[in-house]
Amino acid sequence: MSRVVAFGEIMGRLAAPGFRRFQQAMPGALDVTFAGAEASIAASIAYLGGDASFVTALPAHAIADACVADLRSLNVDTRHILRTAQGRLGLYFLEAGANQRPGNVIYDREGSAVAITPAGAYDWPGIFAGAEWFVISGITPAISRNAAEVARTALREATQRGVKVACDMNYRSKLWQWEPPLPPRELATRTMRELMPLVDLFIGGREDAEAMLGLSGTCASEDLALEIGKQFTRIQRVALTLREGVSATHNNFGGLLYDQASDQFSYAPEPGRLYPITNIVDRLGAGDAFTAGLIHALTTPELAAPQTAIRFAAAAGCLAHSIEGDFNYSTREEIEALMNGAATGRVKR
């Protein structure tokens, strides 16, 4: 079984119940779970039966203990999570959108343990021992200058050991603030273009790719994938999520995969068609589920063919819209059933 290592920040997620606005929900109770792009990817891979390890830094207190226990309950390997005397648990607050009202996220992550822990504190030889894939997102280097340097070190350590790198190019404009007065998009573009020459698999949404890499917003998705491959020659495959937003609770979702070696595109659920998602339960984490599904498929022989892999990824991302929280609790059986046309949502009896 292929071992996948993911590195990034895991946070407490505090969500207003249902579709309440923050002002409606507080004072009052918020729904608390744990979340973070790379943690979500590791959790989804482990839930699918894969071998996934998550690496981060967390403070040494009881809430972080609960966070680690949550990951362990999903069979995520947490041996290399650092417990630190300095830094805090990052948080984010979520107000879900509905219909024409967009959702809203407020971050509270400054000074978190992973934002301030230096690269030298991590046991990179132990972390990458026996690993085939290393997964990181564009969120991690956005957290702080130090986190960006740790990301650079992690990618170098991985590639030096022959570990393939997958980068999920998430762009979070609210986070790229660590070099004022440089605008967030310029800082993101400069930083990520420095990391991309070490990446083997690029994953992202169209807007993320354009924002993070400073590419044109006028070309077709296929042309964007080709341009990414042209500019960064180490990349073997480019995967893009395809999303049409009708409203906050109605999206159409799918994906494409470009394989550099064969110069071929594969589409999911099929060319010219997307999954209609007309009653979104929770959109956050759907891209992470797509990434986890793709990596799990590529490391599973019977799912590894490009067309099968992208169909598995898109179905995983689609189902994640139906599950509260950032983690995707969808089984391989459920994902494959959707791939094979079971899309009515009928009750299993």
Q: Does the pLDDT at position 267 exceed 70?
A: yes
Q: Confirm whether 74 is domain-assigned.
A: no
Residues above pLDDT 70, as percent of the chain: 98
Q: Does the pLDDT at position 216 exceed 70?
A: no
Residues above pLDDT 90, as percent of the chain: 93
Question: What pLDDT, on the 0 to 100 scale, is given for residue 207?
Answer: 86
Domain count, the chain: 1
Question: What pLDDT, on the 0 to 100 scale, is given for residue 255?
Answer: 98
Q: Does the pLDDT at position 346 exceed 80?
A: no
Q: Confirm whether 305 is domain-assigned.
A: yes
pTM: predicted TM-score of the whole model, two decimal places: 0.96
Q: Confirm whether 235 is domain-assigned.
A: yes
Question: What pLDDT, on the 0 to 100 scale, is given for residue 206?
Answer: 87
Q: Does the pLDDT at position 282 exceed 90?
A: yes
Q: In terms of residue numbers, what domain contains 224?
A: 37-56+124-339
Question: What pLDDT, on the 0 to 100 scale, is given for residue 80?
Answer: 98
Name the pLDDT band for 218 (thresholds 50, 70, 90): low
The 3-class secondary structure across the chain, one letter per residue, is: CCEEEEECCCEEEEECCCCCCHHHHCCCCCEEEEECHHHHHHHHHHHCCCEEEEECEEECCHHHHHHHHHHHHCCCECCCCEEECCCECCEEEEECCECCECCEEEEECCCEHHHHCCHHHCCHHHHHCCEEEEEEECCHHHHCHHHHHHHHHHHHHHHHCCCEEEEECCCCCCCCCCCCCCCHHHHHHHHHHHHHHHCCEEEEEHHHHHHHHCCCCCCCHHHHHHHHHHHCCCCCEEEEEEEEEEECCEEEEEEEEEECCCCEEEEECECCECEEECCCCCCCCHHHHHHHHHHHHHCCHHHCCHHHHHHHHHHHHHHHCCCCCCCCCCCHHHHHHHHCCCCCCCCCC
Q: Does the pLDDT at position 217 exceed 70?
A: no
**Average pLDDT rounded to a whole number, residues 310-323:** 98
Question: What pLDDT, on the 0 to 100 scale, is given for residue 121?
Answer: 98
**Average pLDDT rounded to a whole number, residues 181-193:** 95
Question: What pLDDT, on the 0 to 100 scale, is given for residue 342?
Answer: 81
Name the pLDDT band for 173 (thresholds 50, 70, 90): very high
Could you tell me the CATH number of the domain that includes residue 192? 3.40.1190.20
Residue pLDDT, tens place only, 39-97: 999 999 999 999 999 999 999 999 999 999 999 999 999 999 999 999 999 999 999 99
Q: Confirm whether 322 is domain-assigned.
A: yes
Residue pLDDT, tens place only, 236-254: 999 999 999 999 999 999 9
Residue pLDDT, tens place only, 86-120: 999 999 999 999 999 999 999 999 999 999 999 99
Question: What pLDDT, on the 0 to 100 scale, is given for residue 349?
Answer: 61
**Average pLDDT rounded to a whole number, residues 182-204:** 96
Question: What pLDDT, on the 0 to 100 scale, is given for residue 8?
Answer: 98
Name the pLDDT band for 209 (thresholds 50, 70, 90): confident
Q: Confirm whether 130 is domain-assigned.
A: yes
Question: What pLDDT, on the 0 to 100 scale, is given for residue 65?
Answer: 98
